[in-house]
Structure 1
Amino acid sequence: MFRNNVYFVGVGPGSPKYLTREAEEAIREASIIVGWEFDLLPARHLIDGKKIYLQNVKNYVQVAETAAKEARKSNETVAVLRIGDPCISSGLDGLLKVFPDFEVRIVSGISSIQLAAAAAQINIDESVLISFHDGGDDFEKKRRFMLDGLNQNRHLIILTGPDLGPKEAAIYLTNNGISEITPAIVCENLALSDEKISRGTLQDMAAKQFSWRSVMVVI
């Protein structure tokens, strides 16, 4: 029988207005909060007075392990916050291994993928989703997967990353046979006050600089 609960909570794309009621309830119930700084922003009004375990690129697994250890010792509930949805590009597999003896509940959230698809006016189920948030050994495989998707008449929804931003994605696609006039949009800081959506073609996107933390849709 599980002694502790852990919630993996999607907090939406960044604005508190996209935080669901179910997410708010899970965060209120937890006394231990785990997340990257950006993950915590939409829920700042809910986490005052709680134990905060802040993750970064170098320590995110170790911080989660420390939080799990504290929860076991004090019999507390943990909420691991993730921007967007916890089942999309969140490192969920690795985090689940940190909490093998916890009752796990995943609280879905609104993702920037949905907002980008709405901006592009496309169906997500007619698209291929690829994340470059983590480079990894499958970087080349992911790049080829972009080509395969377009060549099969699918849209692309790309979570760009440090190793492949929107500009680099556009250059790669056009250098590998995709038409320069293929429509594309790049969404930056979706749902935030400085949201920016750039519309044009792959040729246009190849000539601009964007934040690597963008969502690119190739239509």
Structure 2
Amino acid sequence: MISAIGIGPGDPSYMTRLGEARLQKADIVVGFETVLQLADDLVPVTAERVVLTYRNQEDQLAQVAARHADGARCAVLFMGDFLFSGYQMLERLERACGERAERIPGISAAQLVAAAGDVCFDETTFITFHRRGDLQPFQQRLVHTLQEGWNAIVIPRPWDFMPHEISRYLIEQGVDERLPLEVWENLTGEEDHWSGTLASCPDSFSDMSILLIRTLTPIPSAV
């Protein structure tokens, strides 16, 4: 069995019970170093750990797929929820295996931001820039979302499209610089929170940041 497991935003208590059960039975546990460290207390002491980097991940995933084909129980860990940010890696994993992995979503930082910021997802668009390749279609989608009067929850891309660059880009595209902006860092860990506007966004956030951009126009309440 090979399981793709979202471990949550940082605090291990946010992992689902099913994800924890699969992890504790794994022969091989795979993930980026930061993710493995966050899940450290839940990884079996007998499990082999395979550390991914952005350069070696395809080779490492191919080796894990071969071990899976030989009968090893493999758990591949993703920060937060792979359906929010990490889907490209999930696709690489499944291509390497030649089959669909067991998918166990986790709690994402986007959900926590929505809860903390008192916004609901049916009035909010989620966009992640934490991906490889051309960002332009996603950048334009964010512009249109805000111009149409919807809230947006946004994950930046380290380190070339961070909160400051996102704010500057939106203003250059004609988005109102007065839109309220909030940035959270290290959710469920040593959290930090900043609030201001697009125009006042500082250039000082870490790669563990996520944004909430609010509309100035109230969205009509559902009947």
* TM-score for the superposition, normalised by structure 1: 0.90
Which secondary structure state, in structure 2, belongs to the residue aligned with residue 122 of structure 1?
coil
1:164-213, Cα deviation, whole Å (9 max, x unpaired): 10011111112222222111101111111x211111111221x3421133
State the AA in 1 paired with 2:51.
L
Give the drift of 1:92: 1.6
**Partner residue in 2 for 1:68:** 65
The match for 2:206 is: 211
AA of the residue aligned to 1:16:
P
Residue in 2 that maps onto 1:153: 149
The Cα of 1:111 is off from its aligned counterpart by 0.4
Matched letter for residue 87 of structure 1:
L
Query: 1:185 aligns to what?
Result: 182
CA contact 1:132–1:163 (8 Å) conserved in 2? no
Question: Retained in 2: the 8 A contact 1:19–1:42?
Answer: no
Partner of 1:94 in structure 2? 92
Structure 1 residue identity aligned to 2:29 = I
Alignment correspondent of 1:163 = 160
CA offsets 1:57-88 (integer angstroms, 9 cap, x no match): 10112111111112323x11111110111222
Paired residue for 1:19? 15
Deviations 1:139-183 (A, max 9, x none): 122211111111122111111012210011111112222222111
Structure 2: segments with no counterpart, 5+ residues: 215-223
Cα separation, 2, equivalents of 1:18 and 1:42: 11
Structure 1 equivalent of residue 138 of structure 2: 142
Instruction: Give the share of equivalent positions with the same residue, in percent.
Output: 30
Alpha-carbon distance in 2 for matches of 1:100, 1:23: 22
Tell me if structure 2 keeps the 8 A contact 1:182–1:201. yes
Alignment of 1:111-150 (within 5 A): 111-137=108-134, 139-150=135-146
Task: Indicate conservation of the 8 Å contact 1:30/1:78, yes or no.
Answer: yes
Q: How far does residue 15 in structure 1 lie from its aligned partner after superposition?
A: 1.1
What is residue 217 of structure 2 aligned with on the other side? Answer: none
Structure 1 CA distance, aligned partners of 2:138 and 2:101? 30
CA RMSD of aligned residues (A): 1.5
Distance 2:65 2:104 in 1: 18
Aligned length: 210
Q: Which runs of at least 4 in structure 1 moved beyond 6 Å after TM superposition?
A: none
2:4 maps to 8
What secondary structure, in the 3-state scheme, does the structure 2 residue paired with 1:110 have?
Answer: coil
Answer whether contact 1:135 1:163 (CA < 8 A) is retained.
no
Any gaps of 5 or more consecutive residues in structure 1?
A: none
The reply on whether 1:28 has 2:43 as its aligned counterpart is no
Contact 1:84–1:111 (CA under 8 A) maintained in structure 2: yes
CA–CA separation in structure 2 for the residues paired with 1:63 and 1:165: 28
- TM-score under structure 2 length normalisation: 0.88
Q: Contact 2:12 / 2:39 at 8 angstroms: preserved in 1?
A: yes
**Structure 1 residue 135 displacement after superposition:** 4.3
